[in-house]
Amino acid sequence: MMRNIKLTIEYDGARYLGWQRLGNSDKTIQGKIEHVLKQMTGEEIEIIGSGRTDAGTHAHGQVANFKSNTAMDPKEIIEFVNRYLPRDIVVKMVEDVPERFHARYNAVGKKYSYYVWNESIPTAFERNYSFQFPQQLDIDLMNEACQKLIGKHDFIGFSALKKTKKSTVRTIDELSIEREGQLLHFTFVGDGFLYKMVRIIMGTLLEIGSGKRSITTIDDIFEQKVRSEAGETVPAQGLFLDEVYY
Amino acid sequence: MMRNIKLTIEYDGARYLGWQRLGNSDKTIQGKIEHVLKQMTGEEIEIIGSGRTDAGTHAHGQVANFKSNTAMDPKEIIEFVNRYLPRDIVVKMVEDVPERFHARYNAVGKKYSYYVWNESIPTAFERNYSFQFPQQLDIDLMNEACQKLIGKHDFIGFSALKKTKKSTVRTIDELSIEREGQLLHFTFVGDGFLYKMVRIIMGTLLEIGSGKRSITTIDDIFEQKVRSEAGETVPAQGLFLDEVYY
C-alpha cells in the first residue's frame, strides 16, 4: 500500500548548496536525503519540502514528505536514514500521515531564527551560525521597528522577488529580539515568508539599530513597495528554519 | 624592549591534530598561531601553552604566552591575528604581562567541560561538540560518584600516564552535572588534570550511570592505582578547556 511519510529534519547547512536538489549535484540537502531513501526502498523517491532554504542556511525543524511502498516502520526508517546520512543532516522524526498531506501546500506558518554576533572580536564556535555585526545597536529602537513590521502587510519591498501575480501579503505574528551574551537572537513567526524576506528585514533592522537609516523607512518601504528602499540582505549563515506549522 | 604577551584563545578543535606543534605540520593550533605571529613580528616566535589539548578537543579559554620585541599595542595585535588566523581559531584577549609569567608553570587550576548527547537520535549541530551516549543514565548515582572523586586523591588510575616519578596527586574542587535538554554538561574544576584524566573519569561515570559498573569501583581504582580498572576513554570531541586560573 502506498504510504505518505512525513520527515522532520535538522541540518547544518554550512557545507551545502541549499535545500533544493540541483540536477545530479550531491551538495544539496534534498539530494542527500533522496539518495538514502532510494537505497532504503529501492524506489524512485522524490521528497517535498515545506520550502527551500538557501545555501548556508540551517534547519532545526524542516519538514518534508514522500510517497513509498516500504514496509519498514517509522523506527526502522529513522535508524536507517540516520545511519547513512552525512552527520550534518539528521532526521529527528518519521510519521505516517494521511495521503493528502503535502509539506508545502499544507504549511500554515513558519518560525525562523536569525543570530547576530554583536562584538568586534569574532567567534570560533558561532562562525557558521551567526553574522558578525560589530557596531553598537540600539535594541529599543529595533524593537520599535519590529512593532511596525508585525501584522498583515504587503512585504514585496522586503523580498528579492521579481514582479509576481501571486499575493505578496503576509502576516508576521511575532518578531522579537533576545540577547544571549554577545549573540542577538531574532525570532520570526508568520504565516509565510517571501523569498529572502527574513534576511532583508534583518538587514533593515541592523541599519536602523546602528543609525544608518531612520525607523520611518519601514513605512516608506511598505508604501513604495520597492526592494531598493530596504536594507542589505544579511548572509544566509545566521538563518535557521526552526519550525513549520500545519 | 622584550615584552611578554599573554593570549587567551578560543578554538574549534574539530579540524586539528591538537594544540601541540608537530614538526612542520600545519594542522595544529600552536602551529597556526605561531605562523601568524611570525608574519606579524618578523621574529621567530614560540608560544607556550598552559597545556596540550588532544586532537578534536576544543577551547573557550586556552592561555599562552610569547616573547617579542613588537611595538604593536594589544588592540593592533588582536586585530592582526584574528584577520589572518583561520576562522575556527580566535584570539579573545591580548595582554602585556610581567617578564616571568609562564602560561604552563604559573597555572594554578583549570576548568573543563564535557558534553554528552544523551539520546538515540543524533544531533546535527552538536556532532563535533559532544559524545553521543544513548543509554539511560542514573544522574543521582553519577552525582554520588562525583562526590567520591571530588577532593585530593592520587588519580594515577584515572590517567593514561606511564609510570612517572612526578606526583600524580591532584585536587578536584568541582565536578558537577547539568542537564540542558538532551545535552548533559559535566564541569570539572581542579588544580590540574593528568593526561586523559577528564576523559577517563567521564568514561567511568557513564559506565556507572548506565549500570555497567558499580559505584564502588571508584574506591577500588583509588586503592589499586591501575588504569585498567577504570572506564573507557570517551572521545576528545566532547571536551572543552574553558578556563585557566593563575
What pLDDT, in 10s, does the model give residues A93-124? 999 999 999 999 999 999 999 999 999 999 99
Checking if the pLDDT of A164 tops 80, the result is no
Average pLDDT (B127-155) is: 97
Greater confidence, B230 or B131? B131
Give pLDDT, residue B26. Answer: 78
Q: Are domains B3-97 and B109-245 of this chain identical in fold?
A: yes
- Nearest-Cα distance to chain A for B110, in Å, is 20
Nearest CA in chain B to A123: B90
User: How far is B169 from B154, CA to CA, in rounded Å?
Assistant: 4
Of A89, A90, A124, the CB nearest to B12: A124
Convert the pLDDT of each residue in A36-81 to its tens digit: 999 999 999 999 999 999 999 999 999 999 999 999 999 999 999 9
Give pLDDT, residue A231. Answer: 83
Q: Is A200 left (phi over 0), alpha (psi -120 to 50) or beta?
A: alpha
Q: Is B196 left (phi over 0), alpha (psi -120 to 50) or beta?
A: left
| Fold classification of B109-245 (topology level) | Alpha-Beta Plaits (3.30.70)
With beta carbons under 8 A apart, name residues in chain A contacting B57. none
Whether B54 is catalytic: yes
Question: Would you give the end-to-end CA distance of chain B in angstroms?
Answer: 25
Contact A90 B58 (CB under 8 A): no
Contact B90 A122 (CB under 8 A): yes
CB atoms within 10 A of CB B31: 19
Mutation target for A interface from B125, B126, B127, B128: give the one with most A CBs within 10 A. Answer: B125
Domain boundaries, chain B: 3-97, 109-245
Single-letter residue type at B94: V
Mutation target for A interface from B90, B119, B237: give the one with most A CBs within 10 A. Answer: B90
Checking if the pLDDT of B112 tops 90, the result is yes
Of B12, B89, B124, the CB nearest to A11: B124
With beta carbons under 8 A apart, name residues in chain A contacting B123. 10, 90
User: How far is B130 from B58, CA to CA, in rounded Å?
Assistant: 11
A16 known member of a binding site: no
- Give me the catalytic one of A12, A26, A54, A154: A54
Give pLDDT, residue A1. Answer: 80
Q: Which CATH architecture has domain A3-97?
A: 2-Layer Sandwich (3.30)
Of B87, B127, B129, the CB nearest to A122: B87
Classify burial at A69, counting beta carbons within 10 Å of its beta carbon; exposed 0-12, middle 13-18, buried 19 or more: exposed
